[in-house]
């Protein structure tokens, strides 16, 4: 009997990936099916369904699921779920597909899945706007009623992604045929929920925390992980290895930097590095909930939530991603409720007077005494060729990042939000 937290949804790991003769037969059948080109986001969603990362989902959401998730954080059957997982297609493609048809889902020439269409529903611009307001609008300055749409269409990649979606959503169960490039490109780092659970079991871990990363690991991330190691059996440093927005640092560079940091500054028996294949949605508090939901499938009991988790710009307040956990629904059936809990940690930084890492809960000194740490601030300094302040990052990691930026032929401007600059401390 496993001591780890059960997968979300009460059905165990729901893995839609086929294997062996079933996979071969479905790949052959897919050759004769209508092919629908899908986005990189949908590709990542499919792979997560394939490996059980999105348990209990076995396909793309119906209209009732989509509406329930946006409005009430629950699927139509009452299971907690924080973000829409939908598949958009053009009206022309939708008109050529009937409910009950099987189709093949293709990205960049690779068929990732087949799908039996159970429903088609149109998404007007007003539907998309409603989704954006429910999912992406927060309590920060840029989410104010008189600013949100003026700013979001220009500066919020999640809103831009939804508004660019095609006119119709298709729903239905999927059979996943491929995990794409991830098993080979990130060998040893790309791990499935079954694999991380087996590793935790082997180490005797029961209470496991996850550190979400989309930026290079700086001193604040290191401090968060070490706090978690002190109170849990171990930590999974879990990096996004899908697509990011322009200006973010590629996954292979971040993985190399984390390897170096773990090698020199962690007790290796207490930490595991892994990656997962999703694209960022930049949904701030809602995405923090998604991170906790699928981490439960990986065997995680605590999701580290610090300042401005999964945020973008100033659309969210500093600790909104922590606060949202206190107001989500808790279905009576524990299998349908979120079991992975937040490990809430205050704003962390290096303090010269404390002579070490600290947080707003432990440091009595002033803003002038502190080195404000953020991934955005680090990327901005490196992209502009500026010196990185002492105690911001480990020198072994900065060598790797400077080498990456020195090799870039095209620079992307990095916008500095208030939280990252330290103005709001």
Q: Which of 215, 254, 281, 286 is catalytic?
A: 215
Residues in the chain: 425
Longest dimension (CA), the chain: 68
Neighbours of 215 (CB within 10 A): 19
CB 396 within 8 A of CB 217: no
Distance CA 229, CA 224 (A): 9
The Cα 123–Cα 120 span in angstroms is: 10
Copy the structure tokens of residue 360. 């707003």
Task: Walk across the sheet containing 356-359 and list its strands.
Answer: 356-359, 348-351, 370-372
Contact indicator for 160, 10 with CB cutoff of 8 Å? no
Q: Do the beta carbons of residue 351 and residue 365 sit within 8 Å? A: yes
Radius of gyration of the chain measured on its C-alpha atoms: 21
Residue 214 annotated as catalytic: yes
Candidates 42, 30, 169, 45; CA nearest to 102 is 30
Q: Determine whether 215 is an active site residue.
A: yes
Quote the tokens at residue 154. Answer: 């220009």
324: helix, strand or coil: helix
Distance between CA atoms of 246 and 248, rounded to whole angstroms? 6
Exposure string for 398-418, b = 16+ CB within 10 A, e = fewer:
bebbeebbeeeeeeeebebbb
Q: How far apart are CA 118 and CA 87, in angstroms?
A: 12
Q: Which secondary-structure segment (H or E) carries 253?
A: helix 251-265
Catalytic, out of 197, 214, 219, 370: 214
Catalytic residues: 214-215
């Amino acid at each position: 009997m496993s001591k780890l937290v059960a997968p979300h949804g009460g059905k165990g790991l729901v893995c839609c990936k086929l294997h062996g003769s079933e996979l071969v037969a479905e790949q052959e059948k897919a050759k004769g099916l209508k092919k629908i080109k899908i986005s990189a986001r949908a590709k990542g969603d499919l792979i997560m369904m394939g490996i059980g990362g999105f348990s209990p989902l076995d396909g793309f959401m119906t209209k009732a699921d989509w509406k329930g998730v946006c409005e009430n954080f629950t699927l139509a059957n009452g299971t907690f779920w924080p973000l829409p997982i939908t598949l958009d297609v053009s009206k022309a493609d939708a008109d050529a597909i009937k409910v009950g048809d099987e189709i093949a889902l293709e990205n960049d020439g690779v068929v990732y899945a087949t799908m039996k269409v159970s429903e088609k529903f149109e998404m007007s611009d007003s539907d998309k706007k409603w989704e954006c307001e429910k999912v992406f609008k927060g309590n920060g300055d840029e989410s104010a009623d008189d600013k949100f749409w003026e700013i979001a269409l220009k500066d919020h990649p999640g809103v831009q992604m939804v508004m660019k979606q095609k006119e119709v959503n298709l729903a239905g169960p999927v059979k996943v045929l491929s995990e794409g490039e991830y098993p080979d490109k990130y060998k040893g780092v790309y791990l499935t929920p079954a694999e991380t659970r087996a590793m935790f079991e082997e180490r005797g871990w029961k209470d496991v925390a996850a550190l979400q990363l989309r930026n290079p690991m700086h001193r604040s991330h290191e401090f968060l992980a070490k706090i978690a190691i002190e109170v849990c059996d171990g930590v999974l440093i879990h990096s996004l290895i899908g697509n990011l927005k322009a200006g973010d640092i590629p996954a292979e560079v971040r993985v190399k930097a984390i390897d170096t940091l773990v090698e020199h500054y962690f007790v290796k028996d207490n930490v595991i590095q892994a990656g997962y294949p999703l694209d960022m949605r930049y949904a701030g508090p809602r995405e923090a909930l998604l991170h906790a939901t699928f981490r439960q499938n990986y065997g995680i009991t605590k999701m580290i939530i610090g300042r401005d988790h999964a945020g973008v710009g100033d659309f969210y307040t500093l600790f909104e991603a922590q606060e949202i956990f206190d107001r989500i629904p808790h279905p009576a059936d524990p299998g349908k409720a979120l079991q992975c809990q937040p490990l809430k940690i205050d704003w962390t930084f290096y303090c010269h007077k404390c002579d070490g890492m600290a947080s707003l809960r432990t440091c009595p000194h002033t803003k002038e005494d502190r080195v404000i740490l953020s991934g955005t601030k680090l990327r901005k300094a490196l992209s502009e060729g500026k010196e990185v302040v002492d105690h911001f990052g480990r020198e072994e990691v900065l060598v790797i990042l400077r080498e990456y930026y020195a090799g870039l032929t095209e620079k992307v401007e990095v916008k500095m939000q208030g939280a990252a600059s330290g103005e709001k401390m």
